[in-house]
Amino acid sequence: MAHVEGAEFGSQDTDTPEGASIGRVLWRRKWLVAVIALIGVGLGYLHFSRVLPTYSSTARVMVIRDVPKSLPITGVGASSLVDGIANQALLVRSPLIVGSAVKFHNLSDLSSLSKDETACEEQIIRGLSIRVVEEGAMMLDITYTGGDPHDCQLVANAVAQSYEKFLGDTRQSLGKETVELIGQAKDALLEQLAQKESAFSEWQHTSRLVRKGKDSSINVHADRLTQIESARSQLLIERTQTSAQLRAIEMAMKQGGSREALSLMLDKVQAGTGTQTKSVASELFPMLLEEQLLLENLGSDHPKVRGIQKRIAITRAFLTNTAGPTGDNNPVTAGASKDFVSVYLESLRQELQTNTEKESELNKLFAKEETEARKLSVDESDDERFRNDIQRTQSLFDVVVKRLQEVSLIQDGGGYRIQIISPAPFGWRTGPDFLKTIILGAFCGIFSGLALSYLLEVADKSFRNSLDISKSLGLRVIGHVPPIRIETSENQTIDGSLCTHLRPRSVTAEAFRGVRNALFFCTNGERHKVIQITSADPSDGKSTLAANLAVVIAQSGKRVLLLDADLRRPRVHKLFGVDNDHGLSSLMTSDIDLVDVTQECGLNNLSLLTSGPRPVNPSELLSQPRFAELLEALKAKFDYVIVDTPPLLAVSDPAAVAARVDGVIIAMRIRKNGRQNSIEATDMLKAIGAPVIGIVVNGISAKAGGSYNYGAYSVDGYKYAYGRNGYGGYYEDDETANMPSEIGGISSR
């Protein structure tokens, strides 16, 4: 049954999932992948057979660090032990251990190792691997890999024993030498400390510094300088204040100020004046201010003015009585040369003189003490030097004593040592692994096969399936036709490729009927149609498609004319076994009547109009208006006119016909690198505005497979087969040229 595609012809092909497409690609090229995989397996086996075998042997040792519980050493915790085992692993592979093993165990005499000790050492280091058994465990696996199993055993055990001997020797020599050196350093420091303390003690007996406790000394003259300087600063401040006060009072007196007002400004009177006098004097000034205000506001006769004046008089009298003795020394006696302010000024002058004398004495004392203090500064420097030197020596001595204690403990029970848990056994084979090599070769082969298949698939320019054809060409696929099985007999005049007549119940005949149904749907009920059958390339089966399509349309009761417009390589007369003496070329070049050239083929409702004699100019003949008139006449006489034309890319004849027909059906055979030709052919039809109905794919087998291969291949469950001649020479031979009756199971035209 033909598969009809397109919106008007049943269900469309759906997009194929990417995974399914890849699966079909791989299935199509499964033999290529299988062959390359076998090649990979063979190469893997060849590698296995040529590579020398390797062997390994492992000795396991436990690393023990003896650290006494009482050892006061910081950092000896879990982390330091882990770091220690890592360092030990590096030590085992060092030239120190390996070189000792080569020297004392004569490893250079082994057959698989170099005879030169240096080269032998380097060879062993390359083949030696040290592995911590598990994280946190103080155990190491010492493994040597080489070409001889017995030598591997000897090398692994020799390295383990050399490592054990090295730790033992190092532990003993390190303990003895360290204790001896540290002990000597301790004795030397102790002697130096005693000498420095003795020298310091003798110096202290001659020094003038005063000792203050055990750890410090004092320069008494420097302390006195500090006290004198403090006293001088205090005198300077007092003298400055007194001088300022004296200048202020003298300036006020020169400017004619009231003595009563000046006395009120004084915070302190002569020595011996009490707080009561100061309080009364301080009250006089506010009363004077109040008096002035009352005089301005009330007048001199007002009672309040007389009252405040009385209070002022009493206050002045009190100040006069309490200011001092009478006579010439009384500061407030009327008419006396000296009053209270004058006395106060005299006291300030005497105070300044006293301060000056005190400062002079302090300056003399300061100079003397400064001289003595400078003399003792040398002793202070010596004292500090002695003390710092003794302190440094004491600190160094303490460190040496502590280190001596630690090393003594390590010598007794600390440091690293090892215990060989399991000696290295006879070496076992570690490579190459046959199974791994074969699997790796197969994997590489499969991967290479898949990559090559993908590249071939990308480079393949043929169509993948019907949906690919439809998308690429922008046309509908209206049918698939399987290969035609050709059967011939001696009395048979009709070609065996006309399966619709010879084998009407066959699958192939049913496929042609499917194309007919699609054509009926496309005409939308119109009866008079001229349908052109063409192809992009020769050998696409267009003539066979045209003949069988005409037969099945005639079988449906329609009046059909099969017109052979292939004037270069006609095929219709051969298919139906009729003569070709007169035909289309006769109609176009002479006045012969249509009835005279139309032939009956013995099938109901089917008439033939063969190509006739080959003209000189087929393309020009089909381009004449007379050919268009002929087609109109045929449309009036027949229900369908099927026109067989040459391939589009071979000659220009089909393009001339396509502009005058009602529909074009393109026969196509999926072939290698046929995509470009098909695109060019459909573009040619679109350029001239030809009404293309769709595409019929020829040569598809009903055999499932989901893939196609060239020569006899399948797409989406249908098998394809084809053959192709080039354009050159195909239409240049004589019409009687011997053409193959079937190529790949279907008629060549």
pLDDT digits (tens, 9 = 90+) for 636-672: 899 899 999 999 888 888 888 888 898 999 998 876 6
Assess whether pLDDT exceeds 50 at residue 17: no
Positive or negative, the Cα torsion across 650, 655, 657, 663?
Answer: positive
Q: Above pLDDT 70, what percent of the chain? A: 73
pLDDT for position 328: 44
Residue 22: predicted pLDDT: 67
CA 480: distance to chain centroid? Answer: 52
Question: In sequence order, what are the beta bridge partners of 663?
Answer: 531
Output the pLDDT for position 709.
Answer: 34
Any idea what the Cα angle at residue 670 is, between residues 668 and 672, rounded to 5°?
130
Predicted pLDDT at 58: 94
| Six token digits for residue 690 | 């030809």
pLDDT (0 to 100) of residue 591 = 84
565-621, pLDDT tens digit by residue? 998 899 998 899 899 888 998 888 888 888 888 998 888 999 999 998 988 888 888
Query: Residue 14's pLDDT is what?
Result: 42
C-alpha dihedral (469, 471, 476, 481), degrees to nearest 10: 20
Alpha helices in 93-219, H assignment, sequence order? 95-104, 117-127, 149-206
Residues 676-702 have pLDDT tens digits of: 888 888 888 888 888 888 899 887 754
- Does the structure show a pLDDT above 70 at 276? no
Residue 179 has a pLDDT of 67
Q: Quick one: which of 189, 565, 663, 656 has its CA closest to 392?
A: 189
Q: How confident is the model at residue 338 (pLDDT cuts 50, 70, 90)?
A: very low
Of the pLDDT bands very low, low, confident and very high (cuts 50, 70, 90), residue 102 is: very high
Residue 335: per-residue pLDDT:
38
- Token code pair at residue 423: 């000696």
For 260-321, the three-class secondary structure string (H helix, E strand, C coil) is HHHHHHCCCCCCCCCHHHHHHHHHHHHHHHHHHHHHHHHCCCCHHHHHHHHHHHHHHHHHHH
Contact present, 107 and 150 (Cβ < 8 Å)? no
**Which of 284-293, 356-365, 572-581: highest mean pLDDT?**
572-581
Reply yes or no on domain 466-721 having CATH 2.60.130.10: no
| pLDDT for 280 | 55
For residue 252, pLDDT beyond 80: no
Task: Classify 324 in phi/psi space as left (phi over 0), alpha (psi -120 to 50) or beta.
Answer: left
pLDDT of residue 641: 93
Phi, psi of 61 (to 5 degrees): -125, 150
d(Cα 122, Cα 98) in Å, to the nearest integer? 9
Residue among 514, 494, 522, 698 at smallest CA distance from 608: 494
Distance CA 138, CA 243 (A): 91
Q: How confident is the model at residue 528 (pLDDT cuts 50, 70, 90)?
A: low
- Structure token digits, residue 87: 């360092």
- Looking at residue 376, its pLDDT comes to 74
Q: What is the 3-state secondary structure (H, E, C) of 440-451?
A: HHHHHHHHHHHH
Cβ neighbours for 40, distance < 8 A, ≥ 6 positions apart = 441, 442, 443, 444, 445, 446, 448
Closest CA to 536 of 669, 691, 658: 669
* Of the candidates 728, 518, 577, 550, the residue with the CA atom closest to the CA atom of residue 644: 550
Helix, strand, or coil (residue 149): helix
CB 45 within 8 A of CB 441: yes
Identify the helix (H) or strand (E) that includes residue 600: strand 599-600
Mean pLDDT to the nearest integer, 20-30: 69
- Residues 123/147, Cβ–Cβ less than 8 Å: no
In this prediction, residue 605 carries a pLDDT of 92
Per residue in 31-84, pLDDT tens?
888 898 899 899 988 888 888 889 999 999 988 876 554 444 444 444 455 567
Q: What is the pLDDT of residue 317?
A: 74
Task: Give the residue extent of every domain in the chain.
Answer: 18-51+432-459, 220-384, 466-721
In the predicted model, is pLDDT for residue 357 greater than 50?
Answer: yes
Picking from 220, 217, 222, 226, the residue whose alpha carbon sits closest to that of residue 385 is 217
β-pair partners for 95: none
- Higher confidence at residue 105 or residue 465? 105
User: What sign does the dihedral 79-85-86-88 (CA atoms) show?
Assistant: positive
Binned at pLDDT 50, 70 and 90, residue 490 comes out as low
Greater confidence (572 vs 291) lies with 572
Mean pLDDT of 395-407: 74
At residue 256, the pLDDT reads 66
- Closest to 578 (Cα-Cα) out of 555, 597, 605: 597
Calculate mean pLDDT across residues 507-534. Answer: 82
Mean pLDDT, range 83-111, rounded to an integer:
87
Mean model confidence pLDDT for the chain: 76
Which range (292-296, 486-490, 495-499, 701-705) has the least confidence?
701-705
pLDDT higher than 70, residue 414: no
> Number of helices (H) and strands (E), helices first, in the chain?
23, 17
Give the least confident one: 143-147, 177-181, 267-271. Answer: 267-271
Q: Residue 560: which of 615, 605, 617, 602 has the closest Cα?
A: 605
- In single-letter form, the type of residue at position 388 comes to N
Q: Is the pTM of this model over 0.85?
A: no
